[in-house]
Structure 1
């Protein structure tokens, strides 16, 4: 029985590969942009279009022969596998609080993104982590491509930037197009497009890998510590991390998701220093980007170091408290926790 299964497995795999190769992705020819370059790459990460070939044309008869078409054709219809965004009346957005009009990249990601995330992370598509990463990648990676391609200003138009930044992904894809006075043919432009598609894909997968393997585990650590904070102090105002992890973004998002009232939100975070083996106490800011804290460390401790700090606080092992009171250090976990508990009462 087992030898029979083994002998048929290669034939089955070969048939699947042939089916994939027979699929054709269509997009427009000529100058290419970041959105369709990424859209094509993303489609090739799916079970349906893995290994698919590509046709670049604006000829409707050519596009009709394609299994899926992106960024051309004037049709958005998931059932027909047509994903254009240029037609009059198109106002599709990602949803989930996002309001940026979608480009072909956003359209493909909206419909196929969960599958792509699950496949890359090797987890079931129904896993809650897939949805978390799907939304995170849209916010941090795909939405900007949608906005740029649709000509949506990132800032109010009356604000003049102090410098230009043309190093974003959309700009780098644009630079891969031939110069206006450079002799080219359609075949060479198609080669350049494949290079652009791979560029967008490498960056997308790199970002997904980071969020899946580093950002998401940090979120789990923060969620666990947030749920156990009452065990650290009955007030629930102190969070203890037994290992360092980036925590600010996750804390604010989890507070919002759990609808934690203002009076119950944590004030201080205690965690081990990444390199020294000492411990830190940090005041939670009022927002992720703010320098203002919910409750800064006491004024009488600020700017003090070592023995002077230990005497002022009455807690041994003092290392420092920043002059602004947003962070401090102690030689031990117990010392840092004692600082946090005492600061709550001051």
Structure 2
């Protein structure tokens, strides 16, 4: 006899739509049938219940978040209260990722992705469903946001002036579940195939920082261009521990080849989303190009330094490294 997944009927939200999809990605509930009802007697026959019932008890496979006193979060580092999506992900996320990627449960990548997927995908759904403002402010938003995943799931509900049967609503719920789930899987595969490889490149560059800059280790060289800022900041926190050491020992310049085969020297910003650099390229170089820049720096094959001093270029790796090394000693 097939197992039963229970959730409430009627108007649906992104969190339980995704929760049901995730459960269908586990060995235990992959072949389970779905029951949508608020009838306690019917829910009591279900093997697992999400987003209804007023109980959170993983031992009983009950995952509701609406009851008074519920304050469960993903872990001690997070403050966002979980929705049914977050609850299911917290308890089944490792299995879902391992199964989807064909990796063993104890794999280090699975655990890394488990936390990253929550931060990048699930937490926003938890916050949205629980009515938690992303920014704790009374400011009115500058524009309307109606294209988020919760918004698109919400639009699959029957319109207020449509007359539809319960079966038709259930059919729309399955569409919503598939929509939310497909975006979850896209996130998992992107992080596995693009985010993790970039992390490896940054880790390799950090490990070789003394080869690139024996004197201070404040220059790193990436073997190819990739999104590096998030990884660098996270690894520095782990490696250097506190802000004072990051300020005095953190990486200042990142070198990498661009799509044309030339090399870039990019400054590390003070914050991942900011425009203020830890150390900009010398102001006397800013806005200067080509031969004029080579004469000014005494370094051959220079291409440019941006007017704001956050990035420069050279035709060779050696030239880019010479620019970064010289910039370390200049204001």
The two structures have a TM-score, normalised by structure 2, of: 0.96
SS in 2 for 1:54: strand
Give ranges in structure 2 of 5+ residues lacking alignment: none
Measure, in 2, the Cα distance between the counterparts of 1:157 and 1:216.
34
The equivalent of 2:226 in structure 1 is 245
The equivalent of 1:100 in structure 2 is 80
Measure, in 1, the Cα distance between the counterparts of 2:314 and 2:181.
45
Paired residue for 1:203, among 174, 180, 183?
A: 183
Kindly report which structure 2 residues correspond to 1:127-276, keeping only aligned pairs within 5 A, or say none: 127-234=107-214, 235-260=216-241, 261-262=245-246, 263-273=248-258, 275-276=259-260
Measure, in 1, the Cα distance between the counterparts of 2:136 and 2:197.
36
Kindly report which structure 2 residues correspond to 1:1-346, keeping only aligned pairs within 5 A, or say none: 22-234=2-214, 235-260=216-241, 261-262=245-246, 263-273=248-258, 275-346=259-330
The two structures have a TM-score, normalised by structure 1, of: 0.92
Aligned residues: 325
Measure, in 2, the Cα distance between the counterparts of 1:55 and 1:97.
34
Give the CA deviation at 1:126: 1.2
Greater mean deviation of Cα atoms: 225-234 or 68-77: 225-234
Distance 1:96 1:308, change over 3 A: farther
Give the CA deviation at 1:257: 1.9
Measure, in 2, the Cα distance between the counterparts of 1:220 and 1:120.
21
RMSD over equivalenced CA pairs, Å: 0.9
Give the CA deviation at 1:256: 1.1
Give the CA deviation at 1:156: 2.6
Measure, in 1, the Cα distance between the counterparts of 2:70 and 2:3.
27
Greater mean deviation of Cα atoms: 260-269 or 217-226: 260-269
Give the CA deviation at 1:302: 0.6
Distance 1:157 1:242, change over 3 A: closer
Give the CA deviation at 1:163: 0.6
Cα deviation 1:254-311 (Å, max 9, x = unaligned):
11122352211111000000x2110000011001011111100011111000001100
Measure, in 1, the Cα distance between the counterparts of 2:152 and 2:327.
50
Give ranges in structure 1 of 5+ residues lacking alignment: 1-18
Contact 2:54 2:67 survives alignment (8 Å)? yes
Measure, in 1, the Cα distance between the counterparts of 2:38 and 2:278.
57
Measure, in 1, the Cα distance between the counterparts of 2:136 and 2:56.
30
Contact 2:25 2:96 survives alignment (8 Å)? yes
Distance 1:157 1:294, change over 3 A: closer
